[in-house]
Amino acid sequence: MHVIWGETVETDTVDGRLFLIPEAVDLYLKVLSGAELSPPPSPARDQLVSVGLIASEPGRPDRMQALDVDAAVRQWQSSLVQMAAGMLSEAQSFPSQLAGMASAYRATHPGRSMTPGVEILTGFKVINERLETVVNGCTRELLTAQPTGPRRADVLAVSYQRDLGVLKRGAAMRTIYLPSARSDGPTARWALTMTERGAKIRTGRTFGRAIVVDRRVAVVPVLEPWSSTEVAPDRAAVVTDEVLVALVCASFERDWAHSEPWGGSQEMELLPIHIGILSALARGLEQDETAAQLEVSRRTVTSRLSELKAMAGVTTVPQLLYWWAKRELQR
């Protein structure tokens, strides 16, 4: 059923294109050939008249004449374009017309969203309570991505019980952290404990924050209304729409593939002096030349190299440079 020029007519639809009913096509050809110039009232005749393909002859209302099909099509298209423009304009005006009502509704329903399958939560207490409920329902797989660096000890304390509960239920668990987590004692101890109980943990440089439970519920950040990149710290979206959850999972898998495995061993964070030494050695400089270029003593270079070798678990400079190159490629 389609509305054309203010009238409702039945049409067939193929690949999004509108067609006349078969009886209307037959009648048009009969009028055009002169085989039927005075057709009785019928849906076919009404349709041909409504779309401008036949009309009464001047001075003879009982007789019909066939009109130019190309002209009718152009008029039809023009009418549809005008109608579409009017509907688009009307649709665009709805938000401003209903802005006051929408604000009033959101004020009384702070945890609701107008998007099906998406619920917006506001406030850390509300978010954490819902998050605990969602994660406690995990039975198959928990995916988490935490791009906020090392976590506070009190946050990790809560996480211990929640995450251990997931693993005890036999669910798989994968987590991505920033590389800075490797040098944080509390986070490293959490990672070691979870790894010993079957969790898999990696670190990567760039990824989005997300928590996905059983690939059916995702908790993701909400952007600030004035920014396309800045997230609101006290707002989160609980997503249950299966298509949106699948997109979050795909993003996680992409970030996971570009992250570096971490078993929870605490690592010293690379300092500018470490990076300077590694860069100089990678360019082929000797240790004396490296010390001169960095304006430090040879003893400093030797000491820092020992720190780096211990961090990488290697004994030679070539092994150290290979470890560093691999580490940088994976970040």
Q: pLDDT band at 94, cuts 50/70/90? A: low
- pLDDT reported for residue 102: 65
Predicted confidence (pLDDT) at residue 167 exceeds the cutoff of 70: yes
Residues 255 and 279 occupy one common structural domain:
no
- Is 41 a member of any domain? yes
Residue 303 is part of a domain; what is its CATH number? 1.10.10.10
- pLDDT reported for residue 331: 55
Residues 238 and 205 occupy one common structural domain:
yes
Range of the domain at 287: 272-329
Q: pLDDT band at 268, cuts 50/70/90? A: low
- Is 172 a member of any domain? yes
Q: Count CB atoms within 10 A of the CB of residue 195.
A: 18
Residues 8 and 75 occupy one common structural domain:
yes
Residue 180 is part of a domain; what is its CATH number? 3.30.870.10
Residues 127 and 256 occupy one common structural domain:
yes
Give the β-pairing of 12-14 and 17-19: antiparallel
Contact between 321 and 313 under an 8 Å Cβ cutoff? The reply is no
Residue 190, token pair as written in the block: 């959490």
Cα 24 from chain centroid (whole Å): 48
* Closest among 160, 191, 153, 152 to 174, alpha carbons compared: 191
List the single range of 74-88, 249-263, 286-300, 301-315 with lowest mean pLDDT: 74-88
Burial category of 262 from C-beta neighbours within 10 Å (exposed 0-12, middle 13-18, buried 19 and up):
buried
Residues 324 and 192 occupy one common structural domain:
no
Predicted confidence (pLDDT) at residue 178 exceeds the cutoff of 70: yes
Residues 81 and 140 occupy one common structural domain:
no
Query: How many whole angstroms separate alpha carbon 287 and alpha carbon 309?
Result: 15
Model confidence, pTM: 0.53
- pLDDT reported for residue 8: 35
Query: How many whole angstroms separate alpha carbon 168 and alpha carbon 164?
Result: 6
- Is 107 a member of any domain? no
Residue 233, token pair as written in the block: 């710290």
- Phi/psi region, residue 131 (left: phi>0; alpha: psi -120 to 50; beta: rest), is alpha
Residue 100, token pair as written in the block: 């006051």
Query: How many whole angstroms separate alpha carbon 183 and alpha carbon 4?
Result: 69
Predicted confidence (pLDDT) at residue 289 exceeds the cutoff of 90: yes
**Percent helix, strand and coil across the chain, each to the nearest 5:** 50, 20, 30
What is the average per-residue pLDDT within 172-182? 89
Query: How many whole angstroms separate alpha carbon 204 and alpha carbon 260?
Result: 6
CA-CA distances (angstroms) from residue 70 to 76, 77, 296, 331?
10, 11, 85, 62
| 99-155 pLDDT per residue, tens | 677 667 666 655 555 567 888 888 888 888 888 889 989 999 999 999 877 777 777
Which has more pLDDT, 112 or 157?
A: 157
Predicted confidence (pLDDT) at residue 229 exceeds the cutoff of 80: no
Residues 277 and 257 occupy one common structural domain:
no
- pLDDT reported for residue 74: 81
148: which DSSP letter? T
Contact between 24 and 42 under an 8 Å Cβ cutoff? The reply is no
- pLDDT reported for residue 105: 65
Residues 145 and 254 occupy one common structural domain:
yes
Residues 293 and 223 occupy one common structural domain:
no
Cα 56 from chain centroid (whole Å): 58
Tally of domains in the chain: 3
152: which DSSP letter? P
Handedness of CA 264, 270, 275, 277 (dihedral sign): negative
Which has more pLDDT, 244 or 204?
A: 244
Which has more pLDDT, 96 or 179?
A: 179
Residues 72 and 127 occupy one common structural domain:
no
Residues 255 and 140 occupy one common structural domain:
yes
Query: How many whole angstroms separate alpha carbon 38 and alpha carbon 40?
Result: 6
List the single range of 27-41, 216-230, 287-301 with lowest mean pLDDT: 216-230
* Percent of the chain residues past pLDDT 70, beyond the cut: 85
